Structure 1
């Protein structure tokens, strides 16, 4: 069983061009005790990645400049961050979108609008092994 104190050692990055989605995720994850790093697009995320070294990344699909598929692919091609779980965020729940996410290396897919419980459940599923090490 992980505690909020354990969670505080984990940084979660949320990449989304919607300030509402970023704020919701920040509140939900913060209440669960996680440190949250926010990025408003793929370029912003890539710039912050090396400084913050997140344990998990939530990545919106539809963003300007660098979309979520491109951002995920770049993260997964990085020798330093290829093992970092990336969860795609999208308001679309189609099979094509999920398959395309899997093709670029995403570890999971979460449909917006998400609930606090669904967000925390995915974080726990993908970070429990890190806390156990």
Structure 2
């Protein structure tokens, strides 16, 4: 079992190296969450675009074309569910993976995230491995 663990660690490190230049968007009204995610992802070579709410994010998505989007559920004006639904209803961005972020961990919230088209649901506080794991699971670069 310890050999498997070591192999997984080697793979994780190797995969993280392959994130150079990956465009990641983080949408959250919390400056702390945005800054934390941005710092973690930039350490692995990602280009990070941030937005404070869904309205700001929609304009930036069209401009920057991120390869994966992390979106908080609870935001003013346009919440994460509405933002995800709008992204997934746009034919240009339908295939862009959207990962929901929330401090809630209920089955209802997770199901609602799936209904609007999100690929995954991460509970805050998230870790570096949570973010990198979501990217590895949903972004396939050639």
Partner of 1:98: 110
Partner of 1:26: 38
- Which blocks of at least 5 consecutive residues in structure 2 are unaligned? 1-13
Residues 3-30 of structure 1, C-alpha deviation per residue, up to 9 Å, x if partnerless? 63x4223100000000000000001101
CA distance in structure 2 between the partners assigned to 1:96 and 1:48 by the alignment: 29
**Given the two structures, how large is their TM-score scaled by the length of structure 2?**
0.87
Partner of 1:72: 84
How far is the alpha carbon of 1:32 from its aligned partner?
A: 1.2
**Given the two structures, how large is their TM-score scaled by the length of structure 1?**
0.93
- CA radius of gyration, larger in: 2
Partner of 1:118: 130
CA distance in structure 1 between the partners assigned to 2:78 and 2:16 by the alignment: 35
- Which blocks of at least 5 consecutive residues in structure 1 are unaligned? none
CA distance in structure 1 between the partners assigned to 2:41 and 2:33 by the alignment: 12
Partner of 1:53: 65
Q: How many residues align?
A: 129
Conserved in 1, the CA contact under 8 Å of 2:16 and 2:132?
Answer: no
Conserved in 1, the CA contact under 8 Å of 2:71 and 2:101?
Answer: yes
Runs of 4+ aligned residues of structure 1 deviating over 6 Å after TM superposition are none
